[in-house]
A and B are shown apart, each in its own frame.
Chain A
């Protein structure tokens, strides 16, 4: 079976002795929303950065739709759209100019116009798009960046804590957008999050990352049943071997 993302024995060591990933292995199916959860320092961002071709693994392999991200990074990038943690935008540009600039990197002609139109529509910023980004709130910047990422309709969407720091209303807006694009266009989504509620709402499968490797994997329902937990937070704590209050 071919996977959208195939991660095998991934190891990443920073400097001489800071081990971020210790033989990480997991797969993401096509059309699936897969969530990586774990505490700070567990390796979520490192994993997403390696898949997005931003950093290279110390050892192990990563394939995106059969493309090795280390050997063919350019080809891999054409399949991916990546929204980094706390992704921002160029402060000197207007929202409209930012959408056009980012779209122009990947697309031209009619497809470029379509992407700009779609991003403009999904961000819902209306007249605010004419204003410089430096006047935007954090939520507005996040939604603007996400709209560009979604409108490019990649085969694989990598989202690093997509709703971190957003208020309830905007977080819900973002989650619904992700769900819509996954359901309607079959875009595969690999995201990381600290928000268990969000993960339960969005993810088909969850990988619990701890100390640089997967310590538990399955659908939220499976994980809860297996560990006799009421929610994913309890699952997470039980997998870490800590007492759940």
Chain B
């Protein structure tokens, strides 16, 4: 019976802790939002697969136009649900109207009628963002087209040529991706997108942790009762603020390094025996992709990470210091910090699933949140539109400076000593 009382006491302590209660509410709201964002991202990808118009271009003049038209008619009326295929005169014209283009190469109809071997079509996909799900959907659409052509070939040959005997052949698609006007290998690009698409989530974890560390530095100092002694020393409060931001950032860097090592250990552990991590990483083929994109991909990714990490740590550190300074103790710090950390996570997931497009507004938002900044930076360099990277960096720097300034202002106000007052109290 004593145990029951003890357990009741422990449960009450949790339930009466506002940080715990707020966490419960916020976690439901944020994850509901994340769920919505994920659904939107996936629905959009599925919609692309179903409804996007697909341009079809016949490469050789010797191809049987009647057969191609019959094939397209069958594709649109029987096999493809939602999607539609339209014939264009040239690849340029097709790409003016759609992001996905299938090309019937020279000799295709001849090979169909002769029934020789495997059939190939060419595919071109245009991508203008770093959303891996959209990219996968568009590339997959071409595979669906190839499969659909395979399925409709027997009926098309029967209609056009009256052939009742047809030996089934595979139809393969050789896909090229036009990524911001540059032709790249689809496999390598997808591998790159798979890596970069999760950068916002990783950034959100690191930045959220940094805000937490920074808030703890101040809140614990208050609880340890050393804070007032420190603030009464003849030093500028701005120095104390900067020291705390740098201190928290160093702690977070240590955390981030261990976190990345853990991820590598995780991925290595999930790989089949006999395959090394370096072999796997080679699938991205950075050198080839760099040459195709016309940028030094390794340098761009590293620069994006360094710039984002530095600005992200400074701004989230400042935010954490602000929250810690507003809190009279670590309990209140927890109350204030929980929604902030969850919002960072939410933003990370949102950018991951919705993708990042280049626009001035997105560049500014990415600078403010920082979580999508590496993606915007990489994309703007690849797209040869560095202005968005510059806008993002300026936005992040301005946010960073404002938060540092806010922290310094708060450190020079009564509230840093008294803490935020949830209720009126007599402090004398």
Contacts and interface: CB of A to CB of B under 8 A. Distances in A.
Are A and B part of the same complex? yes
Interface of A: 14-18, 20, 40-46, 49, 52-56, 74-75, 77-78, 80-84, 86-91, 102, 105-106, 145, 149, 158, 212
B158 interface: no
Contacts of B413: 56
Contact of B417 (A55, A86, A89, A102): A55
A109 B232 CA distance: 22
B229 A102 contact: yes
A78 B232 contact: no
Contacts of B426: 14, 18, 20, 41
Given A14-B426, A80-B232, A49 B226 contact: no
Contacts of B231: 54
A92 B240 CA distance: 18
Given A46-B427, A55-B417, A106 B228 contact: no
A9 to B, nearest CB: 17
Interface in B207-231: 221, 224-226, 228-231
Interface string B395-418: 000000000000000000110011
Contacts of A81: 232
Contacts of B226: 87-90
B228 A55 contact: no
A158 B233 CA distance: 12
A139 to B, nearest CB: 14
Contacts of A149: 229
Contacts of B233: 77, 102, 105-106
Contact of B418 (A40, A55, A105, A158): A55
7 contacts: A15-B421, A40-B428, A56-B414, A81-B232, A83-B229, A88-B226, A102-B229
B279 interface: no
A91 to B, nearest CB: 6
B232 A82 contact: yes
A56 to B, nearest CB: 6
A81 B234 CA distance: 9
B1 interface: no
B236 interface: yes
Interface string B38-50: 0000000000000
A17 B234 CA distance: 32
Contacts, number: 87
Nearest to B421: A15
A88 B224 contact: yes
Contact of A15 (B221, B234, B424): B424
Contacts of B228: 49, 52, 54, 82, 84, 87
B318 to A, nearest CB: 22
A74 B234 contact: yes
Contact of B224 (A52, A54, A90): A90
A71 B421 CA distance: 26
B408 to A, nearest CB: 14
Nearest to B224: A88
Contacts of A75: 234
B3 interface: no
A56 B283 CA distance: 63
B275 interface: no
Given A54-B417, A87-B228, 19 more contacts: A14-B425, A14-B426, A44-B428, A45-B427, A46-B427, A52-B228, A54-B231, A55-B414, A80-B232, A81-B232, A82-B228, A84-B225, A86-B225, A87-B225, A88-B226, A90-B226, A102-B229, A106-B233, A158-B232
Contacts of A86: 225
A49 B224 contact: no
A112 to B, nearest CB: 14
B235 interface: yes
Contacts of B234: 74-75, 77-78, 105-106
A45 B428 CA distance: 6
A55 B414 CA distance: 5
Contacts of A43: 428
Contacts of B224: 88-91
A49 B236 CA distance: 17
Contacts of B428: 20, 40-46, 212
B232 to A, nearest CB: 4
Which of B226, B235, B421, B427 is most buried by chain A, counting CB atoms within 10 A of its CB? Answer: B226
3 smallest A-B Cβ distances: which pairs? A88-B225, A78-B234, A82-B232
A74 B413 CA distance: 14
B229 A84 contact: yes
A54 B414 CA distance: 7
Contact of B229 (A16, A41, A87, A212): A87
